[in-house]
Structure 1
Amino acid sequence: MHHPHVENTPDDPGGYAAARLRLLTEDPHPGPPRRTALSRLTDTWLADLFAGAATVAGTDGDPAGTRGISLVAVGGYGRGELSPRSDLDLVLLHDGSDPARVAALADRLWYPVWDLGLALDHSVRTPAEARKTAAEDLKVQLGLLDARHLAGDLGLTTATRTTVLADWRNQAPKRLPQLQELCAERATRHGELRYLLEPDLKEARGGLRDATVLRAVAASWLADAPREGLDDARRRLLDVRDALHLTTGRATDRLALQEQDQVASALGMLDADALLRQVYEAARVIAYAADVTWREVGRVLRSRSMRPRLRAMLGGGKQPAERSPLAEGVVEQDGEVVLARTARPERDPVLPLRAAAAAAQAGLPLSPHAVRRLAATTRPLPAPWPAEAREQLVTLLGAGRPTVDVWEALEAEELITRLLPDWERVRCRPQRNAVHLWTVDRHLIETAVRASALTRRVGRPDLLLVAALLHDIGKGWPGDHSLAGETIARDVAARIGFDRADSAVLATLVRHHLLLVETATRRDLDDPATVRAVADAVGSQSTLELLHALTEADALATGPAAWSAWRGSLVADLVARVAARLAGDTPAEPGTTAPTAEQERLAVEALRTGGPVLALRARAETPAGDEGRGQDDAGQDGPEPLGVELLIALPEQTGVLPAVAGVLALHRLTVRTAELRALDPPEGVEGSVLLLDWRVAAEYGSLPQGTRLRADLVRALDGTLDIASRLAERDAAYPRRRGVPAPPPRVTVAPAASRHATVIEVRAQDAPGLLHRIGRALEKAGVRVRSAHASTLGANAVDTVYVTGPTGSPLPPQEATSVARALEEALGG
């Protein structure tokens, strides 16, 4: 390693600043070599500062000024891990004999550091003070465990470090549980590093702080972390932090979205996704090591607390650990699942799946030693798998929440990719969508967990669970992940031993896993073409049943924004209609159903008064399937939006859709669906009536006032309420989030989606009044809106409108395309 030459200058006696700059900008060896070189360079500079300051402060008996005083690096600097913007963590130790000399020396040390603009975390303590502070503050004690002598009295540093380390080991039974609690609190605050789109490399669970904690646990001699890959994971996170510091010029640990491409480029990676995947893989290794280590700490502490009583009971004898059989070759011992003494992994290729299934079913962790042995000695499964292997996989997937930890244990030794090679492409793959809580692979496991609660609803729970595991497997390939996943799912199904018919069903489920929710929220369910298209895609009642359960499990596993009682009811309604068609029933044509008594009453009242008449009622729009939610949904508590059913009747006129949509937006009501229908007047009554059937969500959970809605609607229709200006004023009052600009809106025509109307689909950034703007543009284009369906996931909205020409017929293809382009231009402006 080349070390920069240090030149003395008046302002920087060691030439440290210039040498540091050359090292950070010109050194061709980033990573550990550069961190080591930066630490050594800093060591030399601080030692020179100390020597000069100590000589000035020296006494007759100690002209060098070093007796009874030393400079010590602690924390990250003590470990020799200086990143470009890292703090210098320093302790000035002294024996307390000459406070004035210590104060003068400290000033001569700290001020040059500050003058260079370096971050400094410093303290001045005697060994007794250091020991007392460490006993009171766990973070101080952890920092002192990495103490490293820089200059001065070596004996003072050595004695202090030895004492602190002895205290740590003596107090470990008390302090380690406290440290574990701190780690849990930090994880709650900062989240899981391996799933976050903008992770904190240091504080999030699985980050650099956890790697340091594992060193401290090892220093206690109570337990040690699994070493395989741990040092490499820590090095990769440090490399990313170094590049982040140099890219931003700041001492930051948060890997923000807008900086990820630059950091990836600085590290020679393809793109930000490659960077995040490497970060996630490193975090997974550290998080798994932490889980195993804390489990071992708990086992050791329990064993110690039990030992005196056991000795008394056994008269000083030693009792062997109890082993309880769980499955062939698999036993429970001391709260873990281990291999039986008679197990022969080299002769039993099904053993990894059998052990995993037994562990998940028992709700117990798989011993890392057992997993390591399985990975090292088990032969590959034949293709196709034997029936037992497939059954054990299904049992593992159906075990519920314990499946997650068992799957992670298999992942740690790369057993999953040996069983399912296609898993490698989705492993630790990020999802750049705020709706998703997890990486692709974790989402697939979470979907299986959710599906395990729905297996009583289907005739083939094995197909449901395997489909849950595979439904997004195509996201590791370019193009439409559903199409790619269909092919992969068919191949995987054959490999794991499903017959041709079952493989075809699994391929269909993967291909159409988004079909129900997208159709239910974006299409007119009263249109026979909608139901017919879904029935043709699904093909059978049994597949429909499986797809319904998979849809719910997938949405629940995505995140709170992906599923609600409203979405659940729409999907259930669609499933009922499709099931009826598959059974041979013919749905009624749209608009032919007779109006209800309430609708007729509103129509008569609207004609009598000559204005709009409203009726509304509320229902709580709580997320569907909430009973299946566990701790993973923490942080999502709060008031749920209130679902509102709103009926509006008014004499037929133009401009109704934009007027109603705009008024609802002003009242902070989010549109779910909107159906517009012309009603023939009752016998003896003149005039025609428009009936609008809306499903909306109240943003702040309170029922809107019908009188205020009606008053604003009257003003909007007669032109005295400028909705566009009011919405613009409200939008301007809110600061926009800094980040990547939203992509432009996209408007497409869905051919053959309906025989009775032209279906236009709008994809745009969600914003208050979006449906109002769509309605205005369509009114300007001279088309009639029959129904509208709004779907929102995170910041993205997909609004589908069914339109006709003035005569009530679908638009000719060329005119439909022209309307779509005009709508896209209007929204883009």
Structure 2
Amino acid sequence: MKEPAAASRPAANAPSGDPPAWATQARARLVDADAALATRFDRNEDIDTLLRDRAMAVDAIVRDAWSQCIADDAPLALFAVGGYGRGELYPQSDIDLLVLADPDAQAAQHDALARFFALLWDAGLQTGHAVRSPAECTSAARDDITVLTALSEARPLVADERDLRALLHAIDTRHVWPASDYFRAKREEQRVRQARFGDTSDNLEPNLKEGPGGLRDIQTLRWMALRVLGQRDAQGMIALGQLGADEYATLERERRALARLRFGLHLVANRREERLRFDHQKTLAARLGHVDADGTLAVEQMMQGFYRSASVVLRINDRLLQRFEEQLEGEVAPDVIDDTFELRRGYLAARDQHWPNGDTAAIFALFATWAAHPRIRGLHSQTARALAESLPTILAYADATPALRAQFLALLRGPQAVDTVARMARLGVLARWLPAFAQVSGRMQFDLFHVFTVDQHTLAVLRNIAGFASGTPDERFSIAHEVHPRLRKPELLLLAGLFHDIAKGRGGDHSELGAVDAREFGVAHGLSEADTDIIAWLVKKHLLMSVTAQKQDISDPDVIHKFAREVADRERLDLLYLLTCADIAGTSPKLWNAWKDRLLADLYTATRLALRRGLEHPVAKADRIAESRAAAQAMLADFAIDAGEAQGLFVQMPDETFLRARPDQIAWQATVVRSAKPDRVRVSARTLNAKGAAGIGALEVFVLAPDRDGLFAAIVATLDRAGLAIMQARLFDGPDGRVFDTFEVLPAEGQRSVAAEEVERRLSTALAVADLDTIKPARRNQPRHLRHFRIAPQIGFADTSDGRRTMLSLVCTDRPGLLADVTQVFRAQRLRVHDARIATFGARAEDVFQLTDERDHALDDARRDALRAALSALFDGDPR
């Protein structure tokens, strides 16, 4: 190897010095350099300067270490590779080095190189290294594309031009990875990587480096440009027409924004961390200068900036990948669609190079053409660029002509309406036409309930609605495919879905504010007064059905009657049901389950019957009981149980069962009563009537047992130990001293499904013990993420309408085993539980219990105060 270039020559001419002392001094130099860089970061200095200066500070230490260990005349060359080779070094990033040497030199310098690498580690530099000859570089690059990519970023540290040429020659496309092979492999690598990180940039703890729209996507474009076009900088791509100056400026802006986030994350985490975890989000937001504002937390402002940057990166990434593909495959003759548009290699393109020339109607025509040809691969990169440049010319709907508004409505009524809205959102058109949508684009909510940004959640809701309209039943939703065909104007549901969360973050009730927006939109677009009223009502009331189903007793005729009066007619009921299903399922992949599906279906069915009966004729309690008994009796005929035997079984069951339970539940429990012995515990479990992922592991558990204190707490603790979360508990006292307790359960997060037979066995065994107080809930560690979402406990008491029981409402931070611990408090206070409704919204638990004392009386003030104190002590003891 040749002598190093003068600028790269080590200070010493031969190995020398005291390695331990040098390492201590070098570590101190690095600490001082990083502290200075942190101070400069907080002064908002240019991020590229900071990254370069840290690389230079590390360069000095690396070269100095080299001089401590390697003689000047050693036939070795040292290169920085990977991100370090690019000259971009973050505070906690490791460094990658390549020593280029022939095999004989490698053997001769083995011990010296070992000392060099050890010295770097002692100095506090996490170092990845390889020692290879040019031929070995060729072989390693051929075997592993990531090696080739790292070597392509090589920067000489102690090397001359001949060394660099030798290295670049070793990895030339003539020897390894021709441009087309490299492009295809890297594109697939990107696809797999994005899928691994959820295939969306809109998760709660995004990876700034590897996630979709993150820094790795930008770097991938750089690598592809180098391999496919032979261009190391943007100016060469611009000269070739592969990158517009505006696109370059935009990409650079977002790269710097992402780089600043990553640099700051390394500082606040004080370790190599690429994922923007809850542990660091608030601290980083404060360090970046964000402050809480009305309706928007500082952390939400920071995260919105990230999501918007990632979205822009993905948009430009798509365009450039398409151009690289064209460069490799060459142009082909276009397929003409009409006078305005054509297909180029399957991508939709405008034929006029000046399109759209500031014409919003031309842009809407593009989306109409796209929707009319479902086999189109996507938007051609040049047309996508022209569209991006034309975004400022798109008028907001309030300033547009009636013809343009009609054109937009036609898109919502045409084929692929939801795909069209999603395309318009992704390409920035919807935010221009609908300025309120721009405000929620990239907006996150700092909680565990909403796992998507508002705009992505909205699109997920619209996709669910499209699924209802597809004609293919979705097994997650038991009756949605039956309800949707009855809609008079499906576009009303789409518009309600589009507007239902559009006012998030404005500091007021988003339902109320969104309804105002929806009404203004409907009036401006010439919708009829009736249709506008429906859309505004749906937006205003979009949480009504969910809250009613999950927080109230929908087996109570009064609850159904009140809900029916609010809904008022069948059309609104159909629309609200579908919007509610789509909204819940679009909030989080984990939120929709068989229990919610059945709750909403039951509420829908009961309300439909109430509307058919007429709101002036509410169902009487006696009529409800008679109807339930008759329906259950008919079902029992399938079990060879005649009317006489059925009535005999019904006599042994609580009257409340016939008022609160569904006929199929009554018939099922009657068969259990038939086979049970009066003095024995009998447990039966069955799968909830649901299919698909939402129904996996959902069970209904029925416990028929002699009543005794502590029974409920023992059941809850046993189910908790089995890894099951209780969604609802219904507890009735039978006429012969037995309890009829029903539980609807799902596997707790991260837990496996449990077979019905196993639940029966575990409960039967547990409840057979003489002392139920020996059954205790499992002890679990609090999940990491819950520490960041502490909710101040709220404990409220009220009497039931008949005054016989006390309603306890409990709002607090959810955690594994919470219900089991709460029931232990009830047991210690000698209280009886008669009903329980368990609702969880992200990290927020909202539970309601009906309680009495041991004499079945409502709780007096002293008992309430004692219970409040015991629950407060429980929550005060929760780990922070």
Q: Does the alignment reach a TM-score above 0.5?
A: yes
CA distance in 2, matches of 1:545, 1:52: 78
Aligned equivalent of 2:727, options 664, 672, 676: 672
Answer yes or no: is the 8 Å Cα contact 2:394–2:432 preserved in 1: no
| Stretch moving more, 285-294 or 235-244 | 285-294
Answer yes or no: is the 8 Å Cα contact 2:135–2:170 preserved in 1: no
Q: Which residue of 2 aligns with 1:800?
A: 848
Question: How far does the alpha carbon of each residue in 1:267-308 deviate from its partner, in whole angstroms, 9 at most, with x for none?
Answer: 33333323322222232233333333334444555x45xx9x
Answer yes or no: is the 8 Å Cα contact 2:106–2:131 preserved in 1: no
Structure 1: stretches of 5+ with no match in the other structure: 1-5, 59-64, 308-318, 627-638, 682-686
Question: How far does the alpha carbon of each residue in 1:302-342 deviate from its partner, in whole angstroms, 9 at most, with x for none?
Answer: x45xx9xxxxxxxxxxx7322224xx844433211222439
Q: Aligned partner of 1:474: which letter?
A: A
Residue 350 of structure 1: SS of its match in structure 2? helix
Q: Aligned partner of 2:31: which letter?
A: L
Q: Which residue of 1 aligns with 2:316?
A: 289
Q: Aligned partner of 1:160: which letter?
A: L
Aligned equivalent of 1:764, options 812, 832, 842: 812
Question: How far does the alpha carbon of each residue in 1:117-154 deviate from its partner, in whole angstroms, 9 at most, with x for none?
Answer: 21122222232322332222211111122122223322
Aligned equivalent of 1:618, options 683, 686, 701: 686
Aligned positions of 1:81-100 closer than 5 A:
81-94=88-101, 98-99=105-106
Q: Which residue of 2 aligns with 1:787?
A: 835
CA distance in 1, matches of 2:620, 2:819: 26
Q: Which residue of 2 aligns with 1:33?
A: 49
CA distance in 1, matches of 2:121, 2:567: 69
CA distance in 2, matches of 1:150, 1:119: 17
Cα pair distance change 1:142/1:665, threshold 3 Å: closer
Aligned equivalent of 1:114, options 114, 118, 121: 121
Q: Which residue of 2 aligns with 1:3?
A: none
CA apart distance, 1:199: 2.6
Answer yes or no: is the 8 Å Cα contact 1:366–1:409 preserved in 2: no
Cα pair distance change 1:517/1:39, threshold 3 Å: same
Q: Which residue of 1 aligns with 2:34?
A: 24
Cα pair distance change 1:824/1:490, threshold 3 Å: farther
CA apart distance, 1:445: 0.6
CA distance in 2, matches of 1:192, 1:624: 21
CA distance in 2, matches of 1:784, 1:49: 73
Is 2:649 aligned against 1:593?
no
Q: Aligned partner of 2:463: which letter?
A: V
CA apart distance, 1:823: 7.7
Q: Aligned partner of 1:40: which letter?
A: M
Q: Which residue of 2 aligns with 1:746?
A: 794
Residue 504 of structure 2: SS of its match in structure 1? helix
Answer yes or no: is the 8 Å Cα contact 1:470–1:510 preserved in 2: yes
Question: How far does the alpha carbon of each residue in 1:54-83 deviate from its partner, in whole angstroms, 9 at most, with x for none?
Answer: 6x453xxxxxx6xx6432222111111011
| Stretch moving more, 536-545 or 41-50 | 41-50
| Stretch moving more, 376-385 or 800-809 | 800-809
Q: Which residue of 2 aligns with 1:720?
A: 771
Aligned positions of 1:293-332 closer than 5 A:
293-301=320-328, 303=329, 320-325=333-338, 329-332=340-343
CA distance in 1, matches of 2:676, 2:57: 90
| Stretch moving more, 752-761 or 275-284 | 752-761
Cα pair distance change 1:602/1:697, threshold 3 Å: farther
Residue 797 of structure 1: SS of its match in structure 2? strand
Structure 2: stretches of 5+ with no match in the other structure: 1-9, 230-236, 292-297, 470-483, 633-645, 655-669
Answer yes or no: is the 8 Å Cα contact 2:458–2:497 preserved in 1: yes
Aligned equivalent of 2:540, options 504, 508, 511: 511
Cα pair distance change 1:772/1:264, threshold 3 Å: closer
Answer yes or no: is the 8 Å Cα contact 1:530–1:754 preserved in 2: no
CA distance in 1, matches of 2:739, 2:504: 45
CA distance in 2, matches of 1:756, 1:382: 57
CA apart distance, 1:472: 1.8
Question: How far does the alpha carbon of each residue in 1:228-251 deviate from its partner, in whole angstroms, 9 at most, with x for none?
Answer: 522222222222222222223322
Q: Aligned partner of 1:32: which letter?
A: D
Instruction: Provide the aligned C-alpha RMSD in A.
Output: 4.2
CA apart distance, 1:557: 1.7
CA distance in 1, matches of 2:257, 2:358: 37
Q: Aligned partner of 2:726: which letter?
A: V
Residue 92 of structure 2: SS of its match in structure 1? coil
Aligned equivalent of 1:564, options 593, 598, 608: 593
CA distance in 1, matches of 2:610, 2:55: 73
Q: TM-score, normalised by structure 2?
A: 0.76
Cα pair distance change 1:794/1:268, threshold 3 Å: closer
Answer yes or no: is the 8 Å Cα contact 1:662–1:772 preserved in 2: yes
CA apart distance, 1:116: 0.8
Is 2:70 aligned against 1:43?
no
CA apart distance, 1:549: 0.6
Q: Which residue of 1 aligns with 2:489?
A: 460
| Stretch moving more, 504-513 or 493-502 | 493-502
Answer yes or no: is the 8 Å Cα contact 1:606–1:650 preserved in 2: no
CA distance in 1, matches of 2:267, 2:701: 55
Cα pair distance change 1:155/1:395, threshold 3 Å: farther
Residue 730 of structure 2: SS of its match in structure 1? strand
Cα pair distance change 1:743/1:85, threshold 3 Å: same
Answer yes or no: is the 8 Å Cα contact 2:703–2:739 preserved in 1: no
Is 2:763 aligned against 1:709?
yes
Answer yes or no: is the 8 Å Cα contact 1:169–1:221 preserved in 2: no
Residue 722 of structure 1: SS of its match in structure 2? helix
Is 2:406 aligned against 1:388?
yes
CA distance in 2, matches of 1:215, 1:608: 72
Question: How far does the alpha carbon of each residue in 1:582-622 deviate from its partner, in whole angstroms, 9 at most, with x for none?
Answer: 33154435586145535435579699965466463512564
Answer yes or no: is the 8 Å Cα contact 1:565–1:621 preserved in 2: yes
Answer yes or no: is the 8 Å Cα contact 1:199–1:254 preserved in 2: yes
| Stretch moving more, 429-438 or 439-448 | 429-438
CA distance in 1, matches of 2:275, 2:676: 63
Question: How far does the alpha carbon of each residue in 1:688-731 deviate from its partner, in whole angstroms, 9 at most, with x for none?
Answer: 7654444334663311464763564464xxx71215x521xx22
CA distance in 1, matches of 2:381, 2:796: 53
Residue 445 of structure 2: SS of its match in structure 1? coil
Q: Aligned partner of 1:762: which letter?
A: L
CA distance in 2, matches of 1:709, 1:722: 15
Q: Aligned partner of 1:349: which letter?
A: T
Answer yes or no: is the 8 Å Cα contact 1:183–1:210 preserved in 2: yes
Answer yes or no: is the 8 Å Cα contact 1:440–1:472 preserved in 2: yes
Residue 475 of structure 1: SS of its match in structure 2? coil
Q: Aligned partner of 1:276: which letter?
A: M
| Stretch moving more, 110-119 or 614-623 | 614-623
| Stretch moving more, 92-101 or 360-369 | 92-101
CA distance in 2, matches of 1:556, 1:389: 30
Answer yes or no: is the 8 Å Cα contact 1:397–1:452 preserved in 2: no
Aligned equivalent of 1:648, options 680, 704, 715: 704
CA apart distance, 1:176: 1.9
CA apart distance, 1:444: 0.7
Is 2:608 aligned against 1:579?
yes
Q: Which residue of 2 aligns with 1:410?
A: 427
CA distance in 2, matches of 1:820, 1:26: 55
Aligned positions of 1:358-369 closer than 5 A:
358-363=369-374, 364=376, 365-369=378-382
Aligned positions of 1:132-151 closer than 5 A:
132-151=139-158
Question: How far does the alpha carbon of each residue in 1:378-413 deviate from its partner, in whole angstroms, 9 at most, with x for none?
Answer: 441552654433324415895456764x245413xx
Q: Which residue of 2 aligns with 1:684?
A: none
Cα pair distance change 1:181/1:762, threshold 3 Å: same
CA distance in 1, matches of 2:372, 2:834: 52
CA distance in 2, matches of 1:121, 1:608: 69
Answer yes or no: is the 8 Å Cα contact 1:208–1:234 preserved in 2: yes
Q: Which residue of 1 aligns with 2:658?
A: none
Is 2:176 aligned against 1:176?
no
Q: TM-score, normalised by structure 1?
A: 0.81
Answer yes or no: is the 8 Å Cα contact 2:454–2:501 preserved in 1: yes
Residue 124 of structure 1: SS of its match in structure 2? strand
Q: Which residue of 2 aligns with 1:62?
A: none
Cα pair distance change 1:463/1:73, threshold 3 Å: same
Q: Aligned partner of 2:520: which letter?
A: D
Q: Which residue of 1 aligns with 2:875?
A: 828
Answer yes or no: is the 8 Å Cα contact 1:778–1:823 preserved in 2: no
CA apart distance, 1:574: 0.7
